[in-house]
Chain A
Amino acid sequence: MTPTQEIPLQQVDDVVIRFAGDSGDGMQLTGNQFTNTSALMGNDIATFPDYPAEIRAPVGTVFGVSGFQVRFSSNDIHTPGDQPDVLVAMNPAALKVNLADLKEGGTLIVNTGNFGDRDLAKAHYDSNPLDNAEELADKYNYIAIDLNQATLDAVADCGLTNKQALRSKNLLALGMLYYAYSRPFDTTEKWLATKFSKKPEILDANLKALHAGAVIAENSEFFAIKYKVGSAPLAEGTYRNMGGNAALAMGLVAGTQLANLNLFYGSYPITPASDVLHALARYKNYGVTTFQAEDEIAAVCSAIGASWAGSLGVTGTSGPGLALKGEALGLSVMIEQPLIVVNVQRAGPSTGMPTKTEQSDLNQALYGRSGESPLPIVSCSSPGDCFEAAIEAVRIAVTYMTPVILLSDGYIGNGAEPFLIPDISSLPEIKNAFAEEGDTRKPFDRDPKTLARPWIKPGTPGLEHRVGGLEKAEGTGNVSYDAENHERMVLMREAKVAGIADSYKPLEVFGEESGDLVVLGWGSTYGAIRSAVERCHNKGMKVSQVHLRNIWPLPSDLKDVLSKFDKVVLPELNRGQLNRLIRAEYLIDTISLPKIQGKPYGGAELFAHFQKILNA
């Protein structure tokens, strides 16, 4: 397929496309293909998959709509975009759920083949919304096409049943957009060839549908203009497209390699954390053992056992699973051994909204254990950042002999962006400090600097000892109910965790070091805050951004940094959990910006908030 020169080619710098259809329509796949192709073209990309918790919700229903938003740009971008420029709606339900978000003047592609009376009824439309074609055409570049029939025509000679043939309709839509945005087919062709290597007739149909989409787009003149999006001014280096959960898994593997440890990952399947388990299960040749436990409790307990035996035990879960692991985390605090608990957060409480994002487990991470049981908390701020955050969690766990909670969320876990492959020499050195035979330290003697106890693994001759959840005597670790000793040990564990802040890099302030407003964030709000703050800078507003990697203990320089601004504002996808912590720790006035809709903040949305705060 060579692009014709008759249709004008226009350079644009930023496009947002949303694919929406039934959960069985292959929208995630289509979006991922568009993403990978665009990444390989050098665009900066950000994605936002939004799918129902049901695997195959009843066909055609509003709650069964699955969406995938991809933003690709020749600029350095930080979010998957607020409003789509293009909406692909595969059925009435997808149109109903998504049309309000489409930018005015944007492109609306509707599969008219799925707009029969029954389809409309399932989406609870009283009349066919496409009847007002003129209205739609006034407002949007409205493209009505029967993708079903077009697909059946395109793959007619593949020898498939109608049902099989119709499965390729997402690729036909993808082909149309590849044409409109001047994307090459080779990435998707290669991917299809691998995926359907054993089903040549399906491969053939998919390739035909993909190419037919481009031909139809060209011949029909659906698009008055073809677009080109140049490559983004990303830093020099080698890149790969990286999803958050995949990056987190890679970071854990890298961290254990740096520490010269084997990784043991005990986990129980839970949305949206399961992909971390899936990714790690493929890393067997990196000394990784995965253990799919019978429940969340067994998952964390097996990881605790593995750490005791000298591996780095890691467990991964989402909010409700973290609740189940609470008691075992207390044990881990008590025996002072490395452990990482990954929490890919989702909207709670209880089962909540499993596929929707939220940052509402911060309180649980900080306080969700019995007794005085502080532990360090590390957070990830973007899909690619999960890599570095996971290494930081390994560093802290191993250096300080402590459990660490690593907070990600569904938004960054499922999202993707270009990932600059780091120089290995830039990764931190992590020392595991196993005691060897002949070591004269007692099991709970401490390193004077880190206050970490020695890591003594079973199998080491002469150092046999017992650990457990009962309070320990200082030094020996023998069981002790002595009143003074208990208080000393509580304070010792607290001081050890507090001391971790001494090992942080200094905080980075994006923008001026002082000004009218500082936006303090953590986790997945990073991109939206960055976009909003950049907009503020363009308008000459004195707004800066500070984003936390380490949430507990808080960085020692944070209070100072915040004090140089008139106002401190904290956007969070919860009811203000970090906000409360900051107020409690520093006795300063702050402004909380909570959002609890299972949806991330957008840059424009935050910018509006900041403007309002500054004008108040």
Chain B
Amino acid sequence: MSTVTEYKKKDFVSDQEVRWCPGCGDYAILAGVQQVFAGLGVAKEDFAVISGIGCSSRFPYYMNTYGFHTIHGRAPAVASGVKIANPELDVWVITGDGDALSIGGNHLIHAMRRNLNIKVLLFNNRIYGLTKGQYSPTTSPGLVTASSPYGSLDQPFNPIAVALGANASFVARTVDTQPKHLKEVLKAAHAHKGFAFIEILQNCVIFNDKVFDHIVDRSVRDDRQVDLRDGAPMVFGKELDKGVRFADNGIELCAADEASNWDAAEATSADAMRLCQGSETAEIPVPIGIFKAIERPVLEEEIHAQIAATTEKLGEGTLESLLNAGETWDID
């Protein structure tokens, strides 16, 4: 690993022509990630950007780092092998709602459970884009899509609830069109030691345009979002004059000075679970920011510690010791 030089965003721009649709939310996320990577103090060659299949998963081609565009849903499994084989790499997984929560659901929850130090960015646009507009595991019921001409009947996953349920040690949500917030969340995820799951609300201009406008449009977002900041009161509104607090039976609106303080390290995730499951159309704003950040054992560290301890105890294995172990006899 070489000494880290100062980077600029352009150092992370690859020579490949970006092929997302004009207006796609992915452009803003790409720019945000490139800016954040430049400032993390990590040598460029130590980044490993790994994706599955889908629009979002073309991402590694546009990053001037080591990149691996794998197969549908399997990026967390590939990334697990990468991180265990070389823990010094800074491993980022780029995925979408279909890739991560449908075909790759199993790998995602197990990577969360194991708590490898990898960062997963889930671009959630609530639709299959690259296969031309079928409903996804996060699509709202009733949506008319290519594969649901009379409206989708599936009940969706809430990605944050899935991550909390699988005990991810860092869980956050941000928005493609809010670059400042996006970058803050990415930096916090990087600083977190362990698995970080970040849902990014992302607009698909072609197949599900404006899907999050009721939350993210400039005209409403101050009143429709509450940014969860660890240790800070849950306040919102243009003047930060409104608040959210926990009540006996759930969550309620209140004045800013009566807002509950947010505790992202709360062990049971019960409050985070309550918050993330709120209705998107009710009075209570939709939470973004950091739902959870706790410390727990990191798998690749444990693996290498066990290898070191065993090697210390048994001595470093050699071909001689390998071949001659156990009971032997001679024939002469």
Q: Which A positions have Cβ atoms within 8 angstroms of B?
A: 36, 39-40, 42, 187, 231, 234-241, 250, 253-254, 257-258, 262, 264, 266, 283-287, 289, 291, 293-295, 297-298, 301-311, 313, 327-328, 330-331, 335, 421-422, 424, 427, 437, 457-470, 478-479
Q: Which residue of B lies closest to A427 (CB)?
A: B319
Tell me the minimal C-beta distance from B198 to chain A in angstroms. Answer: 20
The proximity string for B residues 51-77 relative to A, scoring 1 for CB distances below 8 Å and 0 otherwise, is 001000000110111111111001001
Tell me the minimal C-beta distance from A405 to chain B in angstroms. Answer: 18
Residues in B with CB closer than 8 Å to A457 are 86
Q: A250-B322, A461-B45, A470-B69 are in contact. Are A305 and B327 (CB under 8 A)?
A: no
User: Closest 3 interchain pairs by CB?
Assistant: A468-B69, A305-B81, A302-B81
Residues in A with CB closer than 8 Å to B332 are 236
Residue pair B60, A466 in contact (C-beta under 8 Å): yes
Q: A40-B327, A250-B322, A464-B64 are in contact. Are A459 and B82 (CB under 8 A)?
A: no
A335 to B107, CA, bound (A): 21
Interface of A is mostly: mixed
Q: Which residue of B lies closest to A40 (CB)?
A: B329
Instruction: Pick the residue among B65, B68, B327, B330 that contacts A308 (CB under 8 A).
Output: B68
Question: Does chain A have a CB within 8 A of B311?
Answer: yes
Question: Does chain A have a CB within 8 A of B89?
Answer: yes
Residue pair A284, B310 in contact (C-beta under 8 Å): yes
Residue pair A264, B68 in contact (C-beta under 8 Å): no
A239 to B71, CA, bound (A): 45
Counting chain B residues whose Cβ lies within 8 A of the other chain, the interface size class is 35 or more
Residues in A with CB closer than 8 Å to B110 are 293-294, 298
Residues in B with CB closer than 8 Å to A295 are 106
Residue pair A254, B319 in contact (C-beta under 8 Å): yes
Question: Does chain A have a CB within 8 A of B147?
Answer: no
A-B contact pairs, 25 of them (CB 8 A): A39-B329, A42-B329, A42-B331, A239-B328, A250-B323, A257-B317, A257-B322, A264-B81, A284-B306, A291-B80, A293-B110, A294-B110, A297-B74, A297-B77, A305-B77, A305-B79, A313-B85, A330-B71, A422-B323, A427-B319, A458-B66, A459-B1, A466-B68, A469-B70, A469-B71
A261 to B228, CA, bound (A): 45
Tell me the minimal C-beta distance from A481 to chain B in angstroms. Answer: 11
Residue pair A421, B78 in contact (C-beta under 8 Å): no
Residue pair A308, B331 in contact (C-beta under 8 Å): no
A132 to B180, CA, bound (A): 90
Residues in A with CB closer than 8 Å to B88 are 459
Residues in A with CB closer than 8 Å to B316 are 285-286
A297 to B48, CA, bound (A): 21
Residue pair B311, A285 in contact (C-beta under 8 Å): yes
Tell me the minimal C-beta distance from B247 to chain A in angstroms. Answer: 39
A428 to B306, CA, bound (A): 31
Residue pair A238, B86 in contact (C-beta under 8 Å): no
A39 to B106, CA, bound (A): 46
Question: Does chain A have a CB within 8 A of B303?
Answer: yes
A240 to B324, CA, bound (A): 8
A466 to B59, CA, bound (A): 10
Residue pair B89, A309 in contact (C-beta under 8 Å): yes
Tell me the minimal C-beta distance from A23 to chain B in angstroms. Answer: 26
Residue pair B327, A421 in contact (C-beta under 8 Å): no
Residue pair B60, A294 in contact (C-beta under 8 Å): no
Q: A285-B317, A286-B322, A459-B89 are in contact. Are A298 and B106 (CB under 8 A)?
A: yes
Question: Does chain A have a CB within 8 A of B46?
Answer: yes
The proximity string for B residues 280-323 relative to A, scoring 1 for CB distances below 8 Å and 0 otherwise, is 00000000000000000000000100110011011111111011
Question: Does chain A have a CB within 8 A of B250?
Answer: no
Tell me the minimal C-beta distance from B47 to chain A in angstroms. Answer: 8
Residue pair B328, A301 in contact (C-beta under 8 Å): no
A457 to B46, CA, bound (A): 10
Tell me the minimal C-beta distance from B203 to chain A in angstroms. Answer: 25
Residue pair B2, A262 in contact (C-beta under 8 Å): no
Question: Does chain A have a CB within 8 A of B249?
Answer: no
Residue pair A284, B307 in contact (C-beta under 8 Å): yes
Residues in A with CB closer than 8 Å to B30 are none
Q: Which residue of B lies closest to A257 (CB)?
A: B319
Q: Which B positions have Cβ atoms within 8 angstroms of A?
A: 1-2, 14, 16, 43-48, 50, 53, 60-61, 63-71, 74, 77-86, 88-89, 106-107, 110, 303, 306-307, 310-311, 313-320, 322-332
Instruction: Pick the residue among B53, B65, B306, B331 that contacts A236 (CB under 8 A).
Output: B331
A36 to B329, CA, bound (A): 11
Known: A36-B327, A237-B331. 8 other contacts (CB 8 A): A187-B327, A285-B307, A297-B77, A311-B85, A427-B319, A459-B86, A459-B89, A468-B69
Tell me the minimal C-beta distance from B199 to chain A in angstroms. Answer: 21
Q: Which residue of A lies closest to B75 (CB)?
A: A301
A458 to B86, CA, bound (A): 9
Tell me the minimal C-beta distance from A159 to chain B in angstroms. Answer: 32
Tell me the minimal C-beta distance from A288 to chain B in angstroms. Answer: 8
Residues in B with CB closer than 8 Å to A262 are 85
Residues in B with CB closer than 8 Å to A237 are 330-331
Residue pair A239, B330 in contact (C-beta under 8 Å): yes
Residue pair A285, B310 in contact (C-beta under 8 Å): yes
A499 to B322, CA, bound (A): 32
Tell me the minimal C-beta distance from B110 to chain A in angstroms. Answer: 4
Residue pair B46, A458 in contact (C-beta under 8 Å): yes
Residue pair B69, A234 in contact (C-beta under 8 Å): no
Instruction: Pick the residue among B107, B307, B313 that contacts A294 (CB under 8 A).
Output: B107
Residues in B with CB closer than 8 Å to A187 are 327
Tell me the minimal C-beta distance from B272 to chain A in angstroms. Answer: 24
Instruction: Pick the residue among A264, A310, A328, A466 that contacts B14 (CB under 8 A).
Output: A466
Residues in B with CB closer than 8 Å to A467 are 67-69
Instruction: Pick the residue among B81, B84, B319 that contacts A301 (CB under 8 A).
Output: B81
Residue pair B82, A309 in contact (C-beta under 8 Å): yes
Q: A234-B331, A461-B45, A466-B68 are in contact. Are A298 and B77 (CB under 8 A)?
A: yes
A236 to B330, CA, bound (A): 7
Q: Identify the interface centre among B45, B63, B315: most chain A CB within 10 Å of its CB.
A: B45
Instruction: Pick the residue among B67, B320, B326 that contacts A466 (CB under 8 A).
Output: B67
Instruction: Pick the residue among A284, A291, A309 that contacts B86 (CB under 8 A).
Output: A309
A250 to B70, CA, bound (A): 30
Residue pair A285, B324 in contact (C-beta under 8 Å): no
Q: Which residue of B lies closest to A258 (CB)?
A: B319
A478 to B14, CA, bound (A): 11
Residues in B with CB closer than 8 Å to A266 are 81
Residues in B with CB closer than 8 Å to A293 are 77, 80, 110
Tell me the minimal C-beta distance from B303 to chain A in angstroms. Answer: 6
Tell me the minimal C-beta distance from A564 to chain B in angstroms. Answer: 35
Residues in B with CB closer than 8 Å to A39 are 329
Residue pair B85, A310 in contact (C-beta under 8 Å): yes
Q: Which residue of A lies closest to B60 (CB)?
A: A466
Q: A250-B322, A286-B317, A289-B303 are in contact. Are A306 and B69 (CB under 8 A)?
A: no
Residue pair A298, B107 in contact (C-beta under 8 Å): yes
Q: A301-B74, A302-B81, A466-B67 are in contact. Are A240 and B45 (CB under 8 A)?
A: no
A306 to B83, CA, bound (A): 8
Q: Identify the interface centre among A293, A427, A437: most chain B CB within 10 Å of its CB.
A: A293
Residue pair B86, A310 in contact (C-beta under 8 Å): yes
Residue pair B330, A464 in contact (C-beta under 8 Å): no
A308 to B70, CA, bound (A): 11
Residues in B with CB closer than 8 Å to A421 are 323-324, 328
Q: Which residue of B lies closest to A423 (CB)?
A: B323
Tell me the minimal C-beta distance from A250 to chain B in angstroms. Answer: 6
Residue pair B317, A313 in contact (C-beta under 8 Å): no
Tell me the minimal C-beta distance from A515 to chain B in angstroms. Answer: 32
Residue pair A285, B315 in contact (C-beta under 8 Å): yes
Residue pair B320, A424 in contact (C-beta under 8 Å): yes
A234 to B48, CA, bound (A): 52
Instruction: Pick the residue among B2, B65, B322 that contacts A464 (CB under 8 A).
Output: B65
Residue pair B82, A305 in contact (C-beta under 8 Å): yes
A285 to B47, CA, bound (A): 28
Residues in B with CB closer than 8 Å to A463 are 45
Q: Which residue of B lies closest to A315 (CB)?
A: B81
